[in-house]
Chains A and B, each alone.
Chain A
C-alpha cells in the first residue's frame, strides 16, 4: 500500500468517530437547550476560533514554545539521568524511587512552588512541562539500557570498548525503541504540564498563553473560548506526539519490527 493510501486507511476511522461525536454534541446542545455557559456547541467553539484568531494563535505559540522547551529538557534530561542510573547501581537504588515519588506528587500541588523557585512566566511553565513529562523518559531509558542483549555487551567487552563508547554505539541505539515509547507518553504529558503551569504561573493580557486564556475566559463565562483553547492545546499535544512518532519511525525504520 502506498504512503497516501496507507495514511488515509489509518486516518478515516478516528476522523469518522470525531465527526460523529461533533454532530451528536451539536444536536444535543440544540435538543436539550443547554445554555452556552454550561456547554457551547461545536459551531460556537469554531466561531470563537474565527472571532479571535490572532489572540488564540499567539497564545498557542507561547504554550507551544514552553511545551517544546519543557519536552526537550525532559527528553535530554531523562535520557541522561536514565543512562547515569544504569551505570551506577547504587544511584539507581537510591534515586529511582525518588523519581517515582516525583511522578506521584500531583503537579497542581507543586506548581505554586515552581513559581516561587523559577519566577512568574515562561521559566516556571517550562519547569512544570519538564517535571511532569520526565519520568516516562527516565523509566523507558533505564528499561531499554537494562535489556540490552548480554551477548552484544560481551562483544563490546572483547573489543575493549569503554563505557561511553559502549553506551553510544550499543546501549543507546538498542534502547531507542524503549526510549521512543517513553517520549510518546512524555509528548502528551508535556502539554498537560505546560497548561497546568500556565494556570498558576503565567502572565495574562497580551502575553497570555493558552492556560491563562482558559482561566480568564472562565472568569468571564466564555466557555466557547475555553473550549477553543482546549482544542488548540489538544492539537499541540497531538502535533508533538506526531513529530515524535515521525522521528521514531525515521530512526527505527530500517531495523526495528515496531515500525514495520
Chain B
C-alpha cells in the first residue's frame, strides 16, 4: 500500500460532553503538525482519549471542528489493549487491515512488517500463547501494516512492565519516527512522552484544556537519549507543567 502525504490536524474549539452534562473536553484548540509525533499528556480522566477518538472519527465533537490538511487520511489505531482476534495467529492478525482492504500483496507486506517488529519467529503463534509485550507488538504491527497517514496510539503500553515498555517505546521510535506519518499518542508517562515526541502537549484535568506545549528538538531517539541532561531537564519541566495544570504548588 502506497503511503500518502501525512496530514496535519487542527482542532478548533472542540468540546465533548457525555450524558449531556459531563464536559470531558471544553473548547480545545490544538494543532498537530503534519508528519510530527505529538504526545498528549494529562491526568487520568482528563479527556485525552476522547480527543484521540474524536481525531480518529470514533467520537463526534459536540461543538467545534476537526480539520485535516489531507482529505480522508488513512488512519490506524493502537489501543490500550491489544485487541487481537483470538482465533487468528500473529500473521493473520497483522494482515487483517490489508485483508479488509482486499490488498493483493498481503503476504509480502505482512512478512516485512513482522520482520520490522521482530515477530517473524512468532508468526504462526496464537495470541493466547504470546506475552503481553508480544501482543502489543502484534497490535503495533497491525497498525503499521497499512502504512497509515495518521497513527493514533491510546496509551498502548500502559499495562506493561517498565523494561518491556522502554523496549516497545524504542520500537515505536524506530518504526514510526521518520515515516511519512502524523502520530498522536496519549500517555500518562512523562518519560515515554519526552522520549517519543516532537511535541508534548500537557492537558489540564477534566474538562481538558491545553496547559503548555513543549517542543522536543532532539534527533534520533536511541535508548541513550534517556540518560542525557537534556532529557532530565525536559522531563522535569513537563512534570512541573502537569502539576501546575492540576492546581498543585510546584
Contacts and interface: CB of A to CB of B under 8 A. Distances in A.
Given A158-B77, A254-B126, A255-B126, A165 B100 contact: yes
A255 B96 contact: no
B79 A151 contact: yes
Chain A CB count within 10 A is highest, among B81, B97, B101, B146, for: B97
A255 B84 CA distance: 12
B128 interface: yes
Interface string B86-103: 110000000011011100
A151 B83 CA distance: 7
Contacts of B126: 254-255
Interface string B58-79: 1000000000000000011101
Interface residues of A, number: 20
Contacts of A165: 100
Interface string A145-171: 000010110111111110001000110
B75 A158 contact: yes
A215 to B, nearest CB: 46
A112 interface: no
Interface string A24-39: 0000000000000000
B100 A154 contact: no
Contact of B128 (A149, A151, A155, A255): A255
Given A151-B79, A158-B56, A158-B75, A173 B85 contact: yes
Contacts of B99: 169
Given A151-B81, A154-B58, A255-B126, A159 B97 contact: yes
Contacts of B75: 158
Nearest to B79: A151
A161 B97 CA distance: 9
A260 to B, nearest CB: 9
A170 B85 contact: yes
Contact of B86 (A158, A169, A255): A255
A256 B86 contact: yes
A143 B77 CA distance: 28
Contact of A169 (B56, B57, B100): B100
A161 B83 contact: no
Nearest to B98: A159
A151 B101 CA distance: 19
B86 A161 contact: no
Interface residues of B, number: 21
A158 B96 CA distance: 12
Contacts of B76: 158
A176 B85 CA distance: 13
Contacts of A159: 96-97, 100-101, 146
A209 to B, nearest CB: 39
A161 B100 contact: yes
Chain B CB count within 10 A is highest, among A157, A158, A165, for: A158
Contact of A152 (B56, B85, B97, B101): B85
Nearest to A157: B58
A159 B56 CA distance: 11
Chain B CB count within 10 A is highest, among A155, A254, A256, for: A155
Nearest to A166: B100
Given A151-B81, A158-B56, A255 B87 contact: yes
Nearest to A251: B87
25 contacts: A149-B83, A151-B79, A151-B81, A152-B83, A152-B85, A156-B100, A157-B58, A158-B57, A158-B75, A158-B76, A159-B96, A159-B97, A159-B100, A159-B101, A160-B100, A160-B101, A165-B100, A169-B85, A169-B96, A169-B100, A170-B85, A174-B87, A255-B128, A256-B86, A256-B87
Given A151-B79, A155-B96, 18 more contacts: A149-B83, A151-B81, A152-B85, A154-B58, A156-B100, A158-B58, A158-B75, A158-B76, A160-B100, A161-B100, A165-B100, A169-B96, A169-B100, A170-B85, A173-B85, A255-B86, A255-B126, A256-B87
